[in-house]
Amino acid sequence: MITATVEQKHYLNAEYGLKSWLLTTDHKRIGLLYLGTITFFFLLGGIFATLIRLELLTPPGDLTNSETYNKFFTLHGVIMVFFFLIPSIPATLGNFLIPMMVGARDLAFPKLNLLSWYLLLAGGLLSMWAMFAGGVDTGWTFYTPYSTTYSNTYVIATALGAFIAGFSSILTGLNFIVTIHRMRAPGLTWFRLPLFVWSHYAAALIMVLGTPVLAVTLVLVALERAFRIGIFDPALGGDPVLFQHLFWFYSHPAVYIMVLPGMGVISELVSTFSRRRVFGYGFVAFSSVAIAVYGFLVWGHHMFVSSQSVYASLVFSFLSFFVAIPSAIKVFNWTATLYKGSISYETPMLYAFGFIGLFTMGGLTGLFVATLGVDVHVHDTYFVVAHFHYIMVGGTLMAYLGGLHFWWPKMTGRMYPEGWAKLSALVIFLGFNLTFFPQFLLGYLGMPRRYHAYPDEFQVLHVLSTAGASVLAVGYLIPLVYLVWSLRYGKRATANPFGATGLEWKTSSPPPTYNFDVTPAVTHEAYDYRALAEEETEGVRVG
C-alpha cells in the first residue's frame, strides 16, 4: 500500500545502514543505542533475579549449589547497578532530551558521547566475558579481604568491567554539565529550565566527582589481588574497613545518580498530566543539588556495625537524616502540584503516581536504616534489600518506564497502545509490592541477605515474594512486546501528543537530525500552560 503523504525527513530516516548507527554522533541515535544496550542488560539482570527468587522458594538450597547462587546474586547486582540503573535514565532519556530541552542541536561533545556508549559496551562485554568464563561471587560490593584474597572467581575482570563503564558515566556527566552551562537557547535562563535538566545536572555532578573514587578503589582491589600489596587485607598489613569507606564514598552517591534523573522525569510527568507548573519550582530544583551535595557526606551509614568509630556513626547518622529533607520536599511539592490541576491518567502519569507512592515508602524506610539503633538490627537483612529495591526499582525503574512511555512518541514517532500500557503499569505496581513488601517483614524478622538456604520459619514470606516476582516479570514483558509492536503498528504521533510545554515538544516527532529548524527563543518560564494554550490557538488561527 502506498501512503498518500511523503515521509518527512527526521533523525531516524536521515541515513540508513549499520555504519550510520555505529558511527553516529547524533545524541538521539546514541540515546537509542543506549536504550537497546541497557534493555539487554536489564533482561540479563532480570534472568538472574528470577533464578534467585526461584531458589528462595524453598528453604534448602536445592535449585543450585551455594557457589552458583552466590554468583547469581553477584551478577544480578553488578549488571543491574553498573550496566542498567546508572546509565538507565541519563544515558537514554537524558541523552535524547537534554539537548532538545535546552534548545541545542546536540550535546557539547558529540564524539565523546559516542565514545561513552562504546565504553559502556566494552565494560559490559568484559564483565559478561567474566560471567561466561566462570562468574564472580563477591557480591556487587566487592568487600575485602574476601574479594582480594579469598574468592576464587573472576574478580579482576568483573571489576575492570565496572571500571570501564565508570568512564562512560564520567563522560556522560561531563557532557551534560557543559551542555547545560554553555548551550542553552536564547532566553532560557537557569530558572526557566525544565526540572528534568536540573536533576540531570545534579546527577552529572556526582558522576564526574564520585565515579573516579570508585575507579581508584576497583584498581586497588585488582592490585592487591594480583600483586598481594597490603592495602585492604590485614594479613598483608591492610585495613578491610578502608575499602568500605572508599567503596561507599562512591556507591552511596551512586544511589542518587540512579534516583535524581528519575525525580526529574517525575517532575515533567506530574506537571504535564496535571497541566500545572510544578509547585515550588525553585525548591524542587535546589533540592536536587542539595541531595547531590549531601549525598557525599553520608557514606558511613553503611558501616554502623563495621567497627568504625561510634562517634563517626553518630555523625553519619545525623547527616543522613539531612538527605531525607530535600527528598521529602520533592514529594510534598509533587503532591501539591496535583492540587486544583487538570489531571488525566495516561500511562506515564500512572507510573508517576506509582513512583511517588513507592519512593515515599522507600524513603521512609530509609529513615529506619539511618536510625542507628534500628540499623544495628536490620543492617544486612532483607529489610535493607527491600528498602533499596523500593528506591531503585519502585523509584528509578518506575520513573524510567514512565519517561519511556511519555517520550516514546517523540523518540519513535509512534504512539504506544494505551490500554496495554495501563494494564502493564498496574501489573508492575502490584507485582512490585507483592515482591518487596514481604521482604521488609522478613528483614525485621532477621533473615540475612545473600543466603542461599534459610531456616523454615522464613518460608511463607519468601513464597509471597517469589509469587510477586513472577507477576512483576509478566509486567515487564508486556511493554517489551507492545513497544516493539508499536514501532510498526502504533498510531503516528503528533508533535505534542500530551500537551506538554518543553522545547522538545515544539519540534516534530521524531525530530529532525538537528532537532530544530530554527533555534528556539524562550520567553517564559517552564510549565507555562497558559502560554502554550495561547500559542496553540494562535497557531490554529494562523494555520
Partner 1 sequence: MSTTFRLFPQAASTTANSVDALYFFLVAVAAFFSILIFGLIFFFAIRHRRRVAREVPQEVRGGLTLEIIWTVIPFGLVMVMFAWGASVYLEVARPPDNALQAYVVGKQWMWKTQHMEGQREINELHVPVGRPVKLTMTSEDVIHSFYVPDFRVKWDVLPGKYTTVWFHPTRTGKFRLFCAEYCGTKHSGMIGWIHVMEPAAYESWLSGGGASGSLASSGEKLFQDLACGNCHRVDQPGRCPDLTGLFGKPVRLADGRSVVADEAYIRESIVNPGAKITAGFQPIMPTFQGLVTEEGMLQLIEYIKSLSGRPAGAQAPPGTAPAPERQAAGERGPSLPGSAPEKR
Residue 252, SS3 per DSSP: helix
Residues 43-62 close enough to bind partner 1 by CB under 8 A: 61
d(CA 382, CA 217): 27
Question: In whole angstroms, how close is the CB of 528 to partner 1 at the nearest point?
Answer: 10
Options 220-228, 369-377, 389-397, 399-407: segment touching partner 1 (CB under 8 A): 369-377
Near partner 1 by CB under 8 A: residue from 47, 115, 312, 372:
372
d(CA 212, CA 167): 8
Q: What is the DSSP string of 222-244?
A: HHHHHH--SSS-GGGT--HHHHH
Q: Is 340 in the site for partner 1 (CB under 8 A)?
A: yes
Residues 480-509 close enough to bind partner 1 by CB under 8 A: 499
Question: In whole angstroms, how close is the CB of 430 to partner 1 at the nearest point?
Answer: 14
- Residue 252's binding partner among partner 1, Cu ion, none (Cβ under 5 to 8 angstroms by kind) is Cu ion
Q: Is 145 in the site for partner 1 (CB under 8 A)?
A: yes
Alpha helices, H only, 183-298: 195-227, 240-272, 281-294
* Inter-CA distances, 473 with 42, 69, 88, 293, 387, Å: 12, 20, 18, 35, 20
Sign (positive/negative) of CA torsion 229, 232, 236, 238?
A: positive
- Residue 310's binding partner among partner 1, Cu ion, none (Cβ under 5 to 8 angstroms by kind) is partner 1
* Inter-CA distances, 48 with 11, 135, 473, Å: 36, 12, 12
- Residue 344's binding partner among Cu ion, partner 1, none (Cβ under 5 to 8 angstroms by kind) is partner 1
Per the CB < 8 A criterion, the answer to whether 245 and 299 are in contact is: yes
Q: Is 360 in the site for partner 1 (CB under 8 A)?
A: yes
Per the CB < 8 A criterion, the answer to whether 436 and 465 are in contact is: yes
DSSP assigned state of 517 = S
Q: Is 539 in the site for partner 1 (CB under 8 A)?
A: no
| Burial class of residue 401 (count of CB atoms within 10 Å of its CB; 0-12, 13-18, 19+) | buried
Q: Is 389 in the site for Cu ion (CB under 5 A)?
A: no
* Inter-CA distances, 239 with 297, 307, 311, Å: 21, 11, 19
The smaller minimum CB distance to partner 1, of residues 103 and 502, is found at: 502
Residues 63-92 close enough to bind partner 1 by CB under 8 A: 66-67, 70
Q: Is 137 in the site for partner 1 (CB under 8 A)?
A: yes
The smaller minimum CB distance to partner 1, of residues 417 and 443, is found at: 443
Residues 195-254 close enough to bind Cu ion by CB under 5 A: 252
Q: Is 450 in the site for partner 1 (CB under 8 A)?
A: yes
Options 214-222, 245-253, 336-344, 428-436: segment touching partner 1 (CB under 8 A): 336-344
Q: How many CB atoms lie within 10 A of CB 154?
A: 23
Near partner 1 by CB under 8 A: residue from 134, 345, 517, 519:
345
Q: Is 371 in the site for partner 1 (CB under 8 A)?
A: yes
Task: State the cell numbers at 200.
Answer: 540531570
Near partner 1 by CB under 8 A: residue from 22, 133, 453, 481:
453
The smaller minimum CB distance to partner 1, of residues 376 and 484, is found at: 376
Per the CB < 8 A criterion, the answer to whether 147 and 155 are in contact is: yes
Options 126-134, 254-262, 333-341, 508-516: segment touching partner 1 (CB under 8 A): 333-341
Q: Is 76 in the site for Cu ion (CB under 5 A)?
A: no
Residue 302, SS3 per DSSP: helix
Nearest to 510 by CA among 7, 6, 10: 10
Question: In whole angstroms, how close is the CB of 453 to partner 1 at the nearest point?
Answer: 5
Residues 268-287 close enough to bind partner 1 by CB under 8 A: 274-277, 279-283
Question: In whole angstroms, how close is the CB of 449 to partner 1 at the nearest point?
Answer: 7
d(CA 514, CA 516): 6
Question: In whole angstroms, how close is the CB of 328 to partner 1 at the nearest point?
Answer: 5
Q: Is 433 in the site for partner 1 (CB under 8 A)?
A: no
Q: Which residues bind Cu ion (CB under 5 A)?
A: 252
